[in-house]
Amino acid sequence: MTTKVVLDTNVVVSANLVDEGFPAAILDLAINRKILMIVSSPVLEEYEEVLHRPRLKLDPARVGAVMALIRKNSLLVRPTITAVAASDESDNRFLECASAARADYIVTGNTNHFPETFERTRVVTPRQFVNLILPLVALRLP
């Protein structure tokens, strides 16, 4: 069974700013389909908007390439609920996305913005996610 994951924008941004570390490893797992990254149109729009912020100084060509990889290797869902459980209103889009896919995890650097669990989805940090998922991914390696 494939692990279904929603990545908060801060994880995607961190993965693009630093080539090593847990966020980069998680995005790599998603792009290589070792885990199933779940996205919705509002989530994709937020990724795109934040990655293009001038203060991040990310090469627009790199942002375009990363967004293309995310779109190609993720499952696009259409949320059917309106969530209100996150302390930051915009974070509710990630809860809605997770709900639509019955995701296993939301991975975020800001766990304090989210409830510990939402429906059946656990909210974890990148480090927690890697510690949880590594044994499962290792079992599926060729």
CATH entry, 4-140, from 3.40.50.1010, 3.30.300.30, 1.10.3720.10, 3.30.1330.10: 3.40.50.1010
Per-residue pLDDT, 18 = 92
Q: State residue 140's pLDDT score.
A: 58
CA distances from 57 to 13, 44, 49, 70 (A): 11, 19, 13, 20
Looking up tokens 């510690």 gives 131
Q: Is the pLDDT of residue 36 over 80?
A: yes
Task: Give the per-residue pLDDT at 91.
Answer: 80
Span 10-20, mean pLDDT? 94
Percent of the chain with pLDDT over 70: 92
Spatial separation of the C-alpha atoms in residues 103 and 76, rounded to whole Å:
12
Structure tokens at 97: 């996305």
Mean pLDDT of the chain: 90
Mean pLDDT of 28-46: 95
Q: CA–CA separation, 21 vs 27, rounded Å?
A: 10
Give the Cα separation of 85 and 77 in Å (integer). 20
pLDDT in tens, 114-126: 889 889 999 999 9
CA 115 to chain centre: 16
pTM of the model: 0.92
pLDDT in tens, 49-102: 999 999 999 999 999 999 999 999 999 999 987 776 766 778 889 999 999 999
- Give the domain ranges of the chain: 4-140
The answer to whether residue 141 scores a pLDDT higher than 60 is no
